[in-house]
Structure 1
Amino acid sequence: MKLGILGGTFNPIHLAHLRIAEEVREARALDRVLFIPAAVPPHKPLVGDIPFAQRLAMVEAAIADQPAFAASDIENRRPGKSYSVHTLEALRQEYPGAEFFFIIGLDSFRDLSTWKEYQRLFELTHLVVAARPGVAEGDPKSLLPIAIMKDFCYNRASNSLEHHSGNSIFFVEETLLDISSTRIRRMVAEGRSIRYLVPAPVLDYIDRHGLYRGQERF
């Protein structure tokens, strides 16, 4: 099985998340994309105190009509911060024999050296970097942290960086949808419509549970 992994706070999940998951699924011929809400995000505080259960419920509502998408509560099943390296280790036990494709945005990829045990990620999974059109042209190795450049070689035919472990970094040019969870939370707090920014079931969930209303911080 070729399994895509898309993590995030999903606070809330929106159409840009879904679109990049669909584009990577198609580009890498994935059998399934697993959406994994972070329980305790290690890189930024969780805004709004929205419980994990509600963020997971919104993900499940958003992907219900796409059989190739699934949601996982794996990061809520262990204590401590939701480090990606630990999640991937657990997933390899949960899905033995699967080939993993970890999906991240270009902004996160540029900050990879700040991640916990980031060097080990390349031993556990392929990385698929969602880049804006034209960004990955030239020498993609220049995007890597200097400390690990020697561990990769560039494959021009596939426009990928191959790690000595056998895993690769692939660059996928995404359809740029200028949507952010921060903006959505602000709009809800201001009483503005978020229709067509989130899937209809997510909009309904936010309305029914009164999420993000009257928040002072976004």
Structure 2
Amino acid sequence: MRIGILGGTFNPIHLAHLRIAEEVRENLALDRITFIPAASPPHKPMNGELPFELRCELVRVAIADNESFQLSRIEGERAGKSYSIDTLRALGEQRPADELFFIIGSDSFLEFGTWHEYRAIFQCSSIVVVERPGARVPNLSEALPEEVRSEFVLDRAANRLDHRSGHQVHYLGECLLDISSTRIRNLARQGRSIRYLVPAAVERYIIEQGLYADER
């Protein structure tokens, strides 16, 4: 199977996350998108984050009506920082016949050279770079860390980089919904509406459970 991997803190998951997943699935003809909440993200402090299991529950509620979407708690099953390379290796060991497509924002791709064992990620998975507002990547090759550029060949027609491992780097510039989890949390803290920023089921869950209200 062709599986998209979408990680994040999902604090909370919102409509832009879901739209990105759907557009990647459709554009690359993927069989499934796996949402993986980060237990302890290395690039982001966890101050003010909901507990891991609550964030997983928000994802579960958000994707319940889409058979192509699934939740994985794999990053909560190990101690320490939630490094992407460790997750991709574990997924590869669990399902070696699957082809993985690791989905990241263009802002993250521009800093990819700072990631833990980033070169090994190209060996484990194809990468799908999704354009984020304010972080356009005009030249995919030049956005690569300089030390790995020689490992890729540019396919201009497909707007894709082909890695010598057989994996690829794809670029999708279509989904530009500018929705921020930070803004959603701030609105919820103020008792204001978050309707149309998150799925209706997620909105209900946040309100019923009083999530973020204790941060006012």
Q: What is the TM-score of this pair, normalised by structure 2?
A: 0.95
Identity of aligned residues (%): 54
Deviation at 1:132, TM superposition (A): 5.4
Match in the other structure for 1:190? 190
Other-structure match for 2:106: 106
| Structure 1 stretches of at least 4 aligned residues deviating more than 2 Å after TM superposition | 132-137
Task: Tell me what 2:44 maps to.
Answer: 44
3-state DSSP of counterpart to 2:7: strand
**Residue-by-residue CA offset, 1:178-207 (whole Å, 9 max, x unaligned):** 101011001111111000100011111111
1:159 and 1:105 map into 2 onto residues whose CA distance is 16
Match of 2:76 in 1: 76
What is the rounded CA distance, in whole Å, between the counterparts of 2:34 and 2:7 in structure 1?
8
Distance 2:178 2:38 in 1: 22
Instruction: Classify the secondary structure of the residue corresponding to 1:48.
Output: coil
Q: Distance in 2 between matches of 1:149 and 1:175?
A: 26
User: How is 1:19-30 mapped onto 2 (pairs within 5 angstroms)?
Assistant: 19-30=19-30
Structure 1, 51-60 or 174-183: larger mean CA deviation:
174-183
TM-superposed deviation, 1:176: 1.1
Q: Which residue of 2 aligns with 1:128?
A: 128
Partner of 1:10: 10
How many Å separate the matches in 2 of 1:174 and 1:183? 22
CA positional deviation for 1:135: 3.8
Residue-pair matches, total = 215
What SS is found at the alignment partner of 1:141? Answer: helix
Whole-Å separation in 1 of the counterparts to 2:49 and 2:26: 34
SS of 2:170's partner is strand
> CA 1:2 to 1:214, structure 2 compared with 1: closer, same or farther past 3 Å?
same
- Looking at structure 2, the residues matched to 120 and 190 of structure 1 have their Cα atoms a distance apart, in angstroms, of 43
What corresponds to 1:176 in structure 2?
Answer: 176
Amino acid at match of 2:183: R
- Residue 87 of structure 1 deviates from its aligned partner by 0.1
Counterpart position of 1:92: 92
- Once the 2 structures are TM-superposed, how far is the Cα of residue 113 of structure 1 from its aligned partner? 0.9
Give the 3-state SS of the residue equivalent to 2:48 in structure 1.
Answer: helix
Could you say which structure has the greater relative contact order, defined with CA pairs below 8 angstroms and 6 or more residues apart? 1
Which amino acid in structure 2 is aligned with residue 110 of structure 1?
L
CA distance in 2, matches of 1:7, 1:151: 25
Change (3 A) 1:132 1:209: closer
What is the rounded CA distance, in whole Å, between the counterparts of 2:73 and 2:19 in structure 1?
A: 21
Flag structure 2 segments of 5+ consecutive residues without an equivalent: none
Give the secondary-structure state (helix, strand or coil) at the position aligned to 1:176: coil
RMSD after superposition: 1.5
- TM-aligned CA distance change 1:159 to 1:180, over 3 Å: same
Q: String of CA shifts for 1:30-69, please: whole Å, max 9, x gaps.
A: 0000000000111011242411110000000000011000
Residue 140 of structure 1 is matched in structure 2 by: 140
Aligned residue in 1 for 2:163 = 163
Q: CA deviation at 1:175?
A: 2.2
User: 127-136 or 77-86: which moved more?
Assistant: 127-136
